[in-house]
Chain A
Amino acid sequence: PALGLFLFTIARDPLRIIILIAGAFFWLVSLLLSSLIWFIAVKASDPRDEPLQKGLLIFGVMFSVLLQEAFRFLYYKLLRKAIEGLVALSEDGCSPISIQQMAYVAGVGFGLMSGAFSMINLLADSLGPGTVGIHGDSQLYFLTSAFMTMVLIFLHTFWGILFFHGCEHRRWWEIAAVVVMHLAVSGSTFCNPLYVGSLVPSYLLMAVAATWAYLLSGGSAQNLRRFLLCKS
């Protein structure tokens, strides 16, 4: 689905592609920094201490989430500056791309990158021989990973919209809500392999975020009805 989003909405406009790639880049950098921190922490600690490792991992995950949001903020700042530049450049005085579109594209960029990093190795391995869950792990590993990745990509997209909207209108509670949601989703994955604990809340949160973002972008129930019934 994320690929479909990309093809239909982003691939037409070169500016959006650049924003997308830049978004992916920012996510990558945040990942890099967070893994650096985690790596240092692991090296500095005792590798045999199992609970400590687990604790460090959790700490790493939380820290990474915070870093991701921080980088989203940085990206927002960069895009603000870019929009001013684009407005100055364009002929009719308004930017060729609005901040909401940028928010959407940035969100997709983040999401794609995070999804890619989560899934690609899995996909590559799934091509090879082997049985899933032979060592007593869940047999639904691939399936749940796929769903989780998809929900995460969508979530990133929606968070992008919400986050930028919050920054635009200086509503700090929106930004805080995004951060909290992100933490919650990541936290819920700690319940894995008890999948009901992680997938269900994530999907619920995604539905919440989706409606929120939709409303923010100017949609409403009426719009939706008209769209679905193909009225003009």
Chain B
Amino acid sequence: MITFMNNSDSEEEPCNERTSLMSAESPPVPSYQDGLQASEAGGAQAHRKRRTGSSRSPNNIADGDMSNSRVPVRESAVENEEEELTLKYGAKHVIMLFVPVTLCMIVVVATIKSVRFYTEKNGQLIYTPFSEDTPSVGQRLLNSVLNTIIMISVIVVMTVFLVLLYKYRCYKFIHGWLILSSLMLLFLFTYIYLGEVLKTYNVAMDYPTLFLVIWNFGAVGMICIHWKGPLQLQQAYLIMISALMALVFIKYLPEWSAWVILGAISIYDLMAVLCPKGPLRMLVETAQERNEPIFPALIYSSAMMWTVGMAKPDTAARGPTQQTWDAAEDGRENYRSPLRADSQRSETRSPGPTRPITSFEELEEEERGVKLGLGDFIFYSVLVGKAAATASGDWNTTLACFVAILIGLCLTLLLLAVFKKALPALPISITFGLVFYFSTDNLVRPFMDTLASHQLYI
């Protein structure tokens, strides 16, 4: 979403940086082994890092040298253990992702169902210039395809631009851009949203109060997202902006275009992350090479608190424990985990074998988070919101899409655990969601309606 807020002039954005799912970097995993095997863990870790092909912080290099000899011997065993441990804690991470995605969808659906504003057609974005009010089906289809092409090309251009900026280290420009767009999002869209909600519920609010509320909301949001803040607050803000953005999309994208765009963007996501020359992949790899988070200006509280925590190893455990979820920084956990692993290892060496294994696991477990881009949130919510808004089967369709998206997310995370590299989060979920939407709307609905009218139960 952060990237998505890049362009202040456009409302939707290459949330594609954001649409990749980065696996929790596995280096810390071997440290699961009990303290006795700390050295082995170090070896495994270094081995792993070499496997992923990126050099991490200097401390690890020292370990790598030292464990060079041990690596080949333990290679297969260590790899197996790594895989197992990765998969074992997978369930917890899946849930950590389920919750924000569910919350975002709930917010979007609730708003769509109650506030009329977001389902009225009041014009379109300039990115989708072709109207869909044409009489013939073919014309409408053509228009929606053209809209999609325009939108996707805008996104591609933006992404490439961003990657170039990043490659040539124009960080200040990126910072400024991001700050500007998040500013606009937090204030302007919130104002519109609040206005509409108040209108719907017929609650009167005077301007000074409104100003105060929005000012506080926006200011705290800016601080939380771009600087430091409690993790849960940051998560809440990110969920809210994703929901706001999704609502904007739902309102301003014409119907058929929205579905075609959803399909096209998942294909684009697939290509951008997996192809060697894909912009997203280049972004991630560049960040890994430089061993720094992708958007330095947007170092979220996780990395910040993390560096503070480095000085005190015992609180380092508690500091980043909850920050495994972050929606915007792909590279952050790459950045985070090597350093986290260092503090970890220093802890292992001092207490040695007397340290109970459970506390280790707890530390490790919390820290190995999975990241999901905000763009993914947005598009999931757009899908579910559109289903809620336009489907005649109402809640059944919405529910079906919701379950489909969650299952797609599960599968994606499973693949992530298997492949251990950045994966696009959109394609599987969106495919499932689309399939379920169309099939539920057209096939299941008549069936369920007839059943309900006769009060039959299956």
Contact = CB atoms under 8 A, between A and B. Distances in A.
Interface stretch (B153-161, B270-278, B443-451): B443-451
Contact of B84 (A57, A89, A185): A89
Interface string A184-225: 011001101100000000000000000000000000000000
Interface stretch (A28-36, A99-107, A163-171, A173-181): A28-36
B447 A38 contact: yes
B394 A124 contact: yes
Given A35-B447, A118-B452, A145-B455, 9 more contacts: A14-B92, A21-B98, A32-B439, A35-B446, A39-B442, A39-B443, A61-B456, A189-B456, A189-B457
B149 interface: no
Contacts, number: 109
Interface string B394-409: 1110011001101100
Interface string A140-182: 0100110011001000000000000000000000000000000
Contacts of B22: none
Contact of A121 (B394, B436, B440): B394
B452 A152 contact: no
A161 B173 CA distance: 60
B356 to A, nearest CB: 14
Binding site of B, secondary structure by majority: helix, strand, loop or mixed? helix
Given A15-B91, A120-B399, A61 B458 contact: yes
30 contacts: A14-B91, A14-B95, A18-B95, A21-B98, A21-B403, A21-B407, A31-B444, A31-B447, A32-B439, A35-B443, A39-B442, A39-B443, A60-B447, A61-B456, A61-B458, A64-B458, A89-B84, A117-B396, A117-B399, A118-B448, A120-B395, A121-B393, A121-B395, A124-B394, A144-B455, A148-B455, A148-B457, A185-B457, A189-B456, A193-B455
Contact of A36 (B403, B439, B457): B439
A18 B93 CA distance: 11
A22 B407 contact: yes
Residue from A21, A90, A116 with most neighbouring chain B CB atoms (10 Å): A21
* Chain A interface residue number, banded: 35 or more
A122 to B, nearest CB: 7
Interface in B381-401: 393-396, 399-400
A114 B451 CA distance: 13
Nearest to A187: B456
A203 to B, nearest CB: 13
B407 A190 contact: no
B112 interface: no
Contacts of B312: none
Contact of A21 (B406, B448, B455): B406
A25 interface: yes
B410 interface: yes
A108 interface: no
Given A21-B410, A113-B403, A121-B394, A65 B458 contact: yes
B87 interface: yes
